[in-house]
Structure 1
Amino acid sequence: MESPELRVLCVSSDVPVLSELMVLLRRRCALACASNADEALEHLHADGSFAVVLTDVRLAGGDGLTLLKQARRLAPDALRLLLAHQVDVGKLLVAVNEGFVFRVIPKPLVPEAFIAVLETALEHFRLVHAERLHRERSVQATLKLLLDLLALTNPTIHARASRVRQYVRLLADHFDVADRAQIETAVMLSQIGCVGLPPAVSEKLCHGRRLTAEEQEHVDRVPIVADRLLANLPELHPIREILTYQSKHYDGTGLPADEVRGERLPWAGRALKIALDFDTLQGQGRSVAAALEEMSGRHGWYDALILEAFAKLWGTEVQCFDVRELPLQEVVSGMVFIHDVVTPAGTLFITRGQEVTEDLLEHLRNVPPPLGREAVQVVIPRTPVAVG
């Protein structure tokens, strides 16, 4: 999130006032002008990234207060300023107290006083934006640390998250959903609750092996653990909601045991449920067709529309692999491993579906020559990886 261009929307049906505003502001910020509320709303709908929305209280075909209430919804970050004759200022202070007007500016305009108010509003916007930018970078650094720790402590689970991300990407592209970055972050964090799982349980989970009652209880708590790890980051509330419902059945059965079901479940949570279960069946060695057939027989588990689309995507995408075979030491960032890579001693080194990252490349530079020269099969990014 870079520092935004400071844009100001000026609205007035009084042509001389609008002209005066243009003269005063054109060298201080990027200006958009409107002569009535409808024109202003067109600007806000087209691009609401304004630092300030400044309007006359009296407009042709509307009023400034109503416009600013709409602006609060369409451009929530913008500071809202209201121009009013001195006789109206006292009546309008309630709007300031209610929070949807930053300042009321008396008319006729006093240029020096007006510019001072505008600069105060712009500076307030800059400070809020800088604080948000700092917060976002801190959150991203925290998330990277969590995912790096997961990759180091449980590479099997991290690779599972990478595979599932590829599947959900296909669905997000197909349905043209918004907030792709948020969804991908949620998918990668979907397995963060596995950090406390014993390695043996992680292996069984990824390969779809039968779990004991005690092990299943630990696995059922994965979304709860993930939620607790992220609870102190309010910016991640939408992501936490996705993770909470990643194991929930579409008909409302499963965990968590609440009344949320069907379309009330987050779309990303429904897609993630399908992707995770598909990956589990693949881990058991099922073919794509066998895995999808079993899932289609689980009535009430999945969103039928998403599952149908997922099956069709595999019917087309699975034929379009760009498979490459090359020495391990020649892989590049973005490639995805089709099979496990095992050391000569029999130790699992890289799991199937793991994506090559800069961190992994750094790790590969230190592998012994025999392993580095071993031929591996990889696919290009965003292609689903089938096993069996």
Structure 2
Amino acid sequence: MLNERRSEPEESSGTLLLVDDEPNVLRALGRLLRREPYRLLTAESGAQALEVMSRTEVDVVVTDSRMPGMDGAELLRRIQQQWPDCLCLMLTGHADMSATVRAINEGRLFRYVSKPWNDDELRHTLQQAFKVRHTERERLRLELLTQQQNIELAELNKGLEQRVIARTLELEQVANMLESAYGELKRSYFTATRVFSSLINRRVPRQLQTNSQVTDLVKAFAEQEGLGEDETRDLLLSASLYNLGKLTWNDRLLGLPSERLFAQDRDLYRRYPETGESLLMALEYLKEAATLVRHHRERWNGSGFPDRLKGMDIPFGARVLCLAVDFIELQRGMILPRKVPRHEALELLRKFSGRIYDPELSKRFIAMCHELAPDLGLAGQPILTVNTNTVVAGMILAQDLHSPSGVLLLNEGKELTYHLVVKLKRLEEMEGHRFTLLVRQPSETGEGS
């Protein structure tokens, strides 16, 4: 009977198709397998079996080897072509070995069972077949699941990559903004320091204002020595503020050379480096510079102040600052009772090398000063001297510009725009003073190209 349903337990392990041209054989197999967890289907010919399989998914087929019209080997060959995942068993007698071999070769026969069959052996063989079929189905299911998950993972990775790229770009933008802000902050520190230095200058007579020249000298020396960014920054800041402690002096004391100070005046003079340090230590970014301010009056032989440091115990920047300060202050008459000419000031630095000054540093410092222009500490930079009538918009200041009273008007590196030049001309009319501007050559600013 075509597609006869013999048994369908509540939980089926799969579908079993029994094919035999003898109904009594089909009934015997049905009785044997009625308690097995299979959905049983039957067919009495190969053609009927193919029709059943075209309408219903079949996991295992058990077919007789000898049937009229289409024998078992041919049926299995066609099943293999159309449903390659289906497992096939063949019932065969000893006289049907040639058909069995052909079924094995052409139809991917899972097992063959000899007639008459052993019930237990047949049940065990079918259990194995369904286990194999279940395993193969599970493998295919997992393979499909893996493929789907791989696709989802690829899409997730693609989305993740896009988010990473977007986040990286965002972080780069933030980093650039922070770098720009940090650069602006550093420039603000230097500008604020120069303004502070200009206020110090207003406290002393113009002929005794030395910060600008000292700063130019230490900057040139830092470039010559190839000092690092942090060391150069601290040295420049200390050069701008080294005499901050003198703000506590009275006008009389400010005008006296240090070699003519005695008693209480001498004691007050020797405390100005400490006073300067104490005023600067509250500012975090000036702590290193404050240390250089404290020790710039120490001497190589240990006779300096305030801590009587000796030799290499004196911070490097303080040793450099000492040379620059003494070189400028000797020429201004701030150390000896007279103004010392430039060449004589250099000779004094050489003479006291090894006692007051670091001998190796002083040698290199003196050699640098011989190479610099006498009135400029710009480390040999190509510059132009212009006034407000000859300056060209776009030029860059090579040196700080101060008012006649010593107030910082424009800091080094400032681009001179048309509006700034107009303001300078108005200030000249109000002050009755003509400004001389030191600017970088046009070739460095892009002018004249």
Relative to the length of structure 1, the TM-score reads: 0.52
Unaligned runs of 5+ in 2: 1-156, 334-338, 375-379, 413-419, 441-449
Structure-1 residue corresponding to 2:281: 231
Mapped to 2, the partners of 1:193 and 1:267 lie a distance apart of 21
* 1:245-290 deviation per Cα after TM superposition (whole angstroms, max 9, x unaligned): 11111233211225x4323322211110001111121113322221
Letter in 1 for 2:363: E
Cα contact 2:383–2:439 (8 A) shared by 1 = yes
Which of 194, 204, 209 is equivalent to 2:246? 194
Contact 1:333 1:358 (8 Å CA) reproduced: yes
* Distance change (3 Å), C-alpha of 1:238 and 1:364: farther
Structure 1 stretches lacking a partner, 5+ long: 1-18, 32-49, 52-121, 342-348, 382-388
Q: Which amino acid counterpart does residue 275 of structure 1 have in structure 2? A: A
Q: Is the 8 A contact 1:333 1:356 kept in 2?
A: no
Aligned pair in 2 of structure 1 residues 142, 293: CA closer, same or farther (>3 Å)? closer
Contact kept in structure 1, 2:292 and 2:318, CA below 8 Å = yes
Task: Map 1:157-168 to 2 at 5 A.
Answer: 159-168=209-218
Q: 1:167 to 1:134 in 2, by over 3 A?
A: closer
Deviation at 1:377, TM superposition (A): 7.5
The 10-residue stretch of structure 1 (363-372 or 180-189) with the greater mean CA deviation from structure 2: 363-372
- Give the Å deviation of 1:371: 4.5
By how many angstroms is 1:305 displaced? 1.6
> Aligned residue for 1:247?
297
Query: 1:149 aligned to 2:199?
Result: yes
- 1:145/1:276 CA distance change after superposition, 3 Å: closer
User: 1:251–1:301: 8 Å Cα contact kept in structure 2?
Assistant: yes
Alpha-carbon distance, 1:199 to partner = 2.8
Deviation at 1:139, TM superposition (A): 6.1
Q: Which deviations, in whole Å up to 9, do the C-alpha atoms of 1:311-342 show, x marking residues without a partner?
A: 111222237698988779989954579xx99x
Q: d(CA) in 2 for partners of 1:234 and 1:169?
A: 22
2:410 to 357, 360, 370: 357
Q: 1:218 pairs with 250, 256, 268, which one? A: 268
- Residue correspondence of structure 1 range 20-169 to structure 2 within 5 A: 25-29=164-168, 143=193, 146-154=196-204, 156=206, 159-169=209-219
Letter aligned with residue 314 of structure 1:
C
How many Å separate the matches in 2 of 1:314 and 1:133? 31
State the AA in 1 paired with 2:264.
E
Matched with 1:276 is: 325
23 and 268 in structure 1: CA distance in 2 versus 1, 3 angstrom threshold? same
User: Which amino acid in 2 is paired with 1:246?
Assistant: H
Aligned residue among 343, 347, 351 for 1:289: 343
State the number of aligned residues.
259
Take 1:328 and 1:219, find their aligned partners in 2: how far apart are those partners? 41
Contact 1:242 1:268 in 2 (8 A): yes
Aligned equivalents of 1:212 and 1:166: distance in 2? Answer: 32
Contact 2:190 2:237 in 1 (8 A): no
Match of 2:139 in 1: none
C-alpha root-mean-square deviation of aligned residues, in Å? 4.9
**Does the C-alpha gap of structure 1 residues 136 and 212 become closer, same or farther in structure 2, counting only changes over 3 Å?**
same
1:132 to partner: Cα distance: 8.3
Q: Distance in 1 between matches of 2:315 and 2:427?
A: 42
Distance 1:140 1:297, change over 3 A: closer
Q: Structure 1's 363 and 262: CA in aligned 2 closer, same or farther, altered over 3 A? A: farther
Contact 2:400 2:410 (8 Å CA) reproduced: no
Check whether the contact 2:300–2:356 (CA below 8 A) recurs between aligned residues: yes
Equivalent residue in structure 1 for 2:234, among 182, 185, 188: 182
Q: Which moved more, 1:278-287 or 1:208-217?
A: 208-217
User: Using a 3 Å threshold, how does the CA distance of structure 1 residues 221 and 370 change in structure 2: closer, same or farther?
Assistant: closer
Aligned-partner Cα distance in 1 for 2:388–2:270: 36
Query: Equivalents in 1 of 2:425, 2:190: separation in Å?
Result: 25
- TM-aligned CA distance change 1:214 to 1:288, over 3 Å: same
Q: Is 2:302–2:311's contact at 8 Å kept on the other side of the alignment?
A: yes
2:368 to 309, 313, 316: 313
1:25 shift after superposition:
2.6
Aligned twin of 1:303: 358
Structure number with greater Rg is 2
Q: Report SS of the residue matched to 2:166.
A: coil
Q: Distance in 2 between matches of 1:326 and 1:364?
A: 13
Relative contact order: is structure 1 or structure 2 higher (C-alpha 8 Å, sep ≥ 6)? 1
Comparing 302-311 with 358-367, greater Cα deviation is found at 358-367
**Contact between 1:328 and 1:371, CA under 8 Å: does it hold in 2?**
no
